[in-house]
Amino acid sequence: MTALPPALIHVRRGMVTLFARRFLDHRLAVASAVVLALLALLAVAAPVAEWALGVDANAVSLAARFLPPSATHPLGTDELGRDLLARLLYGGRVSLIVGLAAALASAVIGTVIGLAAGYYGGKLDIVLMRLTDGVIALPLLPLLIVLAAVDLTKIGLPEALARDADVSLYRMVAIIALVSWTTVARLVRGATLSVREREFVLAATACGAGPLRIMTVHILPNVVSPIIVATTLSVGNVILLESVLSFLGLGIQPPIASWGNMLTGAQELIWSAPELVFWPGALIFLTVIAFNFLGDGLQDALDPRAIAR
Amino acid sequence: MNGTPLLRVEGLTRHFPLGHGLFGRRAGRVHALTELSFTLATGRTLALVGESGCGKTTAARAIAGLYRPDAGRVLFKGSDLAGLPRRARKDARRAMQMVFQDPFGSLNPRLTVGAIVGEPLVIHRVGTRAERRARVDDVMRGVGLDPRDGQRYPHEFSGGQRQRIAIARALVIEPDLIIADEPLSALDVSIQSQVLNLMKDLQEARGLAFLFITHDLAVVDTFADEVAVMYLGRLVELAPRDRLFAAPRHPYTRTLMAAVPVPGRGKRAPGSIPAGEVPSPITPPPGCPFHPRCPRALPVCRAEMPELEDDGGGSFVACHNPEPPPAFMPAGNIR
Amino acid sequence: MTRYIIQRLGESAVVIALMSFLIYALIGLMPGDPIDLMISSDPRLTPADAARLRAVYGLDRPLLERYLSWAVAALGGDFGNSRLHVRPVLDVMPTFLLNTVKLMGLSFVISVTVAIPAGVYAAARQNSRFDHIVNLLCFAGISVPVFWLALMLIIVFSVMIPILPASGVGSIGGGGVWDAVRHLVLPVTTLTIFSIGSYTRFVRAAMIEVLRQDYIRTALAKGAGRARVIWVHALRNAMIPVVTVVALSFGTLLSGALITETMFAYPGMGKLIYDSIMGNDYNMALVTLLFATAVTLAANLLADIAYAWLDPRISYGGSEGVRP
Ligand SMILES: Nc1ncnc2c1ncn2[C@@H]1O[C@H](COP(=O)(O)OP(=O)(O)O)[C@@H](O)[C@H]1O
Ligand SMILES: [Mg+2]
């Protein structure tokens, strides 16, 4: 890059600083970013923690059930004698991965739908927006329960694959993405409608650029802010959905730990070991609220005029 | 002059529908452009002038094929763009490039200047990557920009520099026609003349034709071969430059010239600044659109729309009661 | 307007028809089928018997054919029997529905009663300490996993300080009105916490938007009583979008009710849906899911009509209909 004249460096930096300053003003968002970074770090470090403590997150030991917190088990053990801390860390891994993956997948779906509806307009727009409104209007949880309960062997998947625990992960991502793209689609459509009228889009059309090029090269880069905001906000929702489905036994399947499925047997534990009930839910709560604050802060910083959700 | 003209516009009309009114009634149409016709030959410049809101941008965009016309057609090198299959239309677009009014809005803020200038080459798959780079550097130098600035983003440049970028983008693919929609209006006066000289030089060097849109008659005077005057979406006078300046025939042209001092033409042309407001293009007045403000209006002007007619001296004027023709013809109009 | 309503009703009917097929197909994909259930309850049945039974019940026919015969029967009012309740599906639903109406209605009234003043006050004093606290609480409400919230309430109020019942609608043997109310406290609290955050944010956002408008500024500048301008004029205008988004969020409220009812073993529609899906009660699952969809669509339709009615700028016939 060529050296910029000082005045121009100032302009460039000015925009970045403005964003940074508005974001840093949002103290909750900054705190949330820190919390999320820590959680991600801990989730990544789960095997390290396991090794350091000398425990195995999946090793069942009936002799070690409901142990109180100790040096080896900082948070004690669960009803099957597994180390609670190690399981929480692994559970965080799953919740974060599923949350981010499903949010990204829904961002992709929503972006494609929003771009097409906003750019082409007319009949396609009407159809796509009716579809979006329709999905928003549905009672999603009951339908998700049905989707999650579908027997994969009945749609031709081999038995072994259908029962595989890893497949339950992909499946969660897929069905959650299928219902969570609506926010992104609406925001992208709105932004596309206004960018579409900007002169540089007309200029590209006048040059002979086709719809695909217009949408990907000219509109998409100018609608990233709403995509980022909507995606961040939807991570929280996605994690909530994953946790409730896993809690109901329809999501992530044991032995893979997720914060949701760690609570599956919780109703029996409320008398004997309430602290086992507390931790997984508290972590879901913390993660979701952090993503929501982060999204809120990004929204304020990227587009101060947008009204709150 | 024989053969097909470079650009021929025939009865081009665009009336924007207004949004739906209550209970689905149509609330009306904006008569932005009505029956525009003219021809433009290779290597020449036609200036389209008129007050803000008279439909100049609409005309430019309809000619460039960005708006679907409600009536009329645009023949570019003899073929109707709207009737061409997609591929051929894309090829035709190669030879017709556009410079927009707003140098701040017409450059994608997320692309580097190099990518913006080189985009027509990418779209039309011209050359290899290296060849395209070389071409972009060339053109940037040609418009007085440093090729090293290709790495930077539009917001780092001033308005004049941006308009140069936009001109470089229009030139890079070596078109035959450039439609320039008030390319100077967003610029400082000092920079205006720079950019104008640049365009003049390019025209001489490459035989480019310009459809040059402006509301500034001083600019018209230095650059145009012919002038088309628009009022409320309609062409009211079309004449060779010197003739128009020497003896405007439409009362509107006259008042327009009275409103703007033209340097180098001595004192202002006689006439009065038009009284009253420009009527709304949603409900244009019956008859001649200019009659409510016209000092020479006759009763017939209220009822009948005057046709654009050849006055026999190279001018076309749409007026029931035009100013008298000049006593002698200035030499400039003889082709 | 009438034309608009008729058109929207027609659209909703189409959506319901499509959804009924979709749900029918999905339920067919759930583990097991009615014959499997018979086989597991009667070991003497051979695979040949099973095949014969499938033919008798028409389960070997193509999906579309089976769906159509179900739809024809359903249009005639016959939705089949519930496997778990061993009664016609429609006979089972009313008591559950009534319980849900109680739960959702109570929690809705409480949410709105708190959300409106909280949202208005926060908007009127944007960025005040009060606004920040409300904002924090709203985010907490939006972000809390409902099933865990229910578990925590049970642990605190039924286990640690045992003052409230953790499940059901009444004690065995009946305990009168007071007993019924006590059973409602925890479920209603859970559902209220779930919905109140987003309602408050709706009110706050709409009020901020309205307070920015010129006519409000003018009224304030002219010296009209600030309280009156905010609580009467501004609030009245802010209610238009609020009513709409609240109605649009009915589906979400229903999802919250499903979890709440399941957690507190509260016999409402949500629990009925959940139990019928998990208990292979196909007829019941189908009807309850469709019912939930229909009610949600009706809420949306009402929201749209209310919006069109209240906002004079909206046209009813045009294709460019605006949604909030
Ligand atoms: N997309 C559009 N929809 C409706 N009306 C328009 C649109 N574009 C321009 N107009 C109207 O058409 C008239 C001519 O506009 P324009 O061509 O931009 O004039 P000019 O470029 O001469 O200033 C104006 O009254 C303008 O308001
Ligand atoms: Mg213009």
Q: Identify whether the C-beta of residue B160 lies closer than 8 Å to the C-beta of residue B143.
A: no
The pLDDT value recorded for residue B328 is 58
Alpha-carbon dihedral sign for residues C201, C202, C205, C211: negative
**Which residues 6+ apart lie within 8 Å of A275 measured at CB?**
A75, A76
Judged by CB atoms closer than 8 Å, whether chains meet at A139 and C209 is answered as no
Mean pLDDT for each 10-residue chunk of chain C (324 residues)? 82 86 86 69 72 71 83 84 84 92 94 95 90 93 95 91 80 75 92 95 91 81 78 83 84 92 93 90 89 88 78 43 31
User: Nearest CA to A206 among B126, B38, B90?
Assistant: B90
> Does the Cβ of B15 fall within 6 Å of ligand 1?
no
Mean pLDDT of B162-167: 91
Based on its alpha-carbon atoms, the radius of gyration of chain B, rounded to whole angstroms, reads 21
Cis ω for the linkage preceding A255 (within 30 of 0):
yes
Q: Which ligand is nearest to the CA of B34?
A: 1
Judged by CB atoms closer than 8 Å, whether chains meet at B156 and A1 is answered as no
Q: Which helix (H) or strand (E) holds B311?
A: none
Q: Are strands B79-80 and B71-76 parallel, antiparallel or unpaired?
A: antiparallel
User: Nearest CA to C204 among C234, C174, C169?
Assistant: C234
- Which letter does DSSP use for residue B143 in this model? T
Mean pLDDT of A230-236: 91
- Which letter does DSSP use for residue C170 in this model? S
Tokens 């994690």 found at: A239
Assign residue B45 a region (left: φ > 0; alpha: ψ between -120 and 50; beta: otherwise).
beta
Task: Sort out which chain B residues have CB atoms less than 8 A from A217's CB and list them.
Answer: 108, 111
The pLDDT value recorded for residue A10 is 47
Domain map (residue ranges) of chain B: 7-41+53-84+225-317
| C25 within some domain | no
In tens, the pLDDT along A117-174 reads 999 988 999 899 888 888 887 888 988 998 888 877 777 778 777 777 778 888 889 9
* C-alpha span between B125 and B91 (Å, rounded): 11
SS3 of B106, please? coil
Which tokens belong to B101? 């009014």
The pLDDT value recorded for residue B192 is 82
Q: Count CA atoms closer than 13 A to A267's CA, side-chain side.
A: 11
Kindly report the protein residue whose alpha carbon is nearest to atom 24 of ligand 1.
Answer: B53
Mean pLDDT of B280-290: 86
User: Nearest CA to C192 among C89, C116, C115?
Assistant: C115
For domain B7-41+53-84+225-317, the CATH class is: alpha beta
The pLDDT value recorded for residue A7 is 46
Mean pLDDT of A65-90: 78
**Cβ neighbours around A233 below 10 Å, total:** 23
Judged by CB atoms closer than 8 Å, whether chains meet at A141 and C300 is answered as no
The pLDDT value recorded for residue C127 is 87
* C-alpha span between B152 and C129 (Å, rounded): 44
Kindly state whether C4 is in contact with chain B, defined as any CB-CB distance less than 8 angstroms. no
- Which letter does DSSP use for residue A262 in this model? G
In tens, the pLDDT along B221-263 reads 888 999 999 999 999 999 999 888 888 889 999 888 876 655 5
| C23 within some domain | no
| C134 within some domain | yes
Chain C nearest-CA distance from B16, in A, is 16
Tokens 């030139």 found at: B171
User: Nearest CA to B318 among B35, B9, B18?
Assistant: B35
Chain C nearest-CA distance from B26, in A, is 9
Least confident of B94-108, B279-293, C30-44: C30-44
**Which residues 6+ apart lie within 8 Å of C277 measured at CB?**
A142, A145, A146, A149, C30, C285
Q: Count CA atoms closer than 13 A to C36's CA, side-chain side.
A: 8
User: Nearest CA to A5 among B194, B146, B162?
Assistant: B146
* C-alpha span between A188 and A202 (Å, rounded): 19
Chain C nearest-CA distance from A3, in A, is 42
For the cut 70, the answer to whether the pLDDT of residue B275 exceeds it is: no
The pLDDT value recorded for residue C309 is 74
User: Nearest CA to B227 among B57, B56, B97?
Assistant: B56
Cα B48 from chain centroid (whole Å): 4
For the cut 70, the answer to whether the pLDDT of residue B21 exceeds it is: no
**Which residues 6+ apart lie within 8 Å of B121 measured at CB?**
B127, B132, B135, B136, B172, B173
Kindly report the protein residue whose alpha carbon is nearest to atom 11 of ligand 1.
Answer: B32
Backbone dihedral angles phi then psi of residue A83, each to the nearest 5 degrees: -70, 125
For residue C193, what is the domain's CATH number? 1.10.3720.10
Judged by CB atoms closer than 8 Å, whether chains meet at C317 and B19 is answered as no
Judged by CB atoms closer than 8 Å, whether chains meet at B24 and C316 is answered as yes
In tens, the pLDDT along B114-142 reads 999 999 999 999 989 999 999 999 999 88
The pLDDT value recorded for residue A300 is 82
Judged by CB atoms closer than 8 Å, whether chains meet at B90 and A208 is answered as yes
| C232 within some domain | yes
- pTM for the whole structure: 0.82
Task: Look at chain B and count its residues.
Answer: 335
The pLDDT value recorded for residue C251 is 86
* C-alpha span between C104 and C98 (Å, rounded): 10
Task: Sort out which chain C residues have CB atoms less than 8 A from B19's CB and list them.
Answer: 318, 320
Judged by CB atoms closer than 8 Å, whether chains meet at A244 and C146 is answered as yes
Mean pLDDT of A172-178: 91
Which tokens belong to C55? 């033919």
* Measured CA distances, C318 to A119, B127, B258 (Å): 20, 48, 46
The pLDDT value recorded for residue A5 is 47
Alpha-carbon dihedral sign for residues C276, C277, C278, C281: positive
Find the domain containing C153 and state its range. Answer: 93-268
Q: Identify whether the C-beta of residue B289 lies closer than 8 Å to the C-beta of residue B33.
A: no
* C-alpha span between C197 and C190 (Å, rounded): 12
Task: Look at chain C and count its residues.
Answer: 324
In tens, the pLDDT along C125-174 reads 888 899 999 999 999 999 999 999 999 999 999 888 888 887 777 766 66
The pLDDT value recorded for residue A303 is 66
**Which residues 6+ apart lie within 8 Å of B324 measured at CB?**
none
* C-alpha span between B167 and B175 (Å, rounded): 11
The pLDDT value recorded for residue A140 is 86
In tens, the pLDDT along C241-278 reads 888 888 888 888 999 999 999 999 999 999 999 999 88
Distance B101 CA to ligand 2 centre (A): 7
| C203 within some domain | yes
| C306 within some domain | no
- Which letter does DSSP use for residue A2 in this model? P
**Which residues 6+ apart lie within 8 Å of C239 measured at CB?**
C206
> Does the Cβ of B28 fall within 6 Å of ligand 1?
no
The pLDDT value recorded for residue B180 is 93
Q: Which helix (H) or strand (E) holds A280?
A: helix A274-302
Mean pLDDT of A273-279: 85
How many domains would you assign to chain C?
1
Which tokens belong to B79? 């073929």
Q: Are strands B226-231 and B45-49 parallel, antiparallel or unpaired?
A: parallel
* C-alpha span between B42 and B47 (Å, rounded): 14
* C-alpha span between B152 and B114 (Å, rounded): 8
Chain B: residues touching A (Cβ < 8 Å): 61, 64-66, 89-90, 93-94, 96-98, 100-102, 105-111, 119-120, 123-124, 148-149, 151-152, 155-156, 166, 169, 173
**Cβ neighbours around A35 below 10 Å, total:** 17
Cα C152 from chain centroid (whole Å): 23
> Does the Cβ of B240 fall within 6 Å of ligand 1?
no
* CA end-to-end distance (rounded Å), chain A: 40
Kindly report the protein residue whose alpha carbon is nearest to atom 16 of ligand 1.
Answer: B55
> Does the Cβ of B57 fall within 6 Å of ligand 1?
yes
User: Nearest CA to A167 among A181, A151, A143, A178?
Assistant: A151
Least confident of A56-70, A100-114, A179-193, B193-207: A56-70
* C-alpha span between B45 and B40 (Å, rounded): 7
Using CA coordinates, name the residue in chain A closest to C320. Answer: A126
SS3 of C223, please? coil
Q: Confidence band (pLDDT; 50, 70, 90) for B89?
A: confident
Q: Which residue has the higher pLDDT, A234 or A20?
A: A234
Q: Which ligand is nearest to the CA of B280?
A: 1
* C-alpha span between B83 and B97 (Å, rounded): 19
User: Nearest CA to C191 among C136, C260, C139?
Assistant: C260
Q: Are strands B209-214 and B177-181 parallel, antiparallel or unpaired?
A: parallel
For the cut 80, the answer to whether the pLDDT of residue A79 exceeds it is: no
Which ipTM value was assigned to this complex?
A: 0.86
**Cβ neighbours around B141 below 10 Å, total:** 12
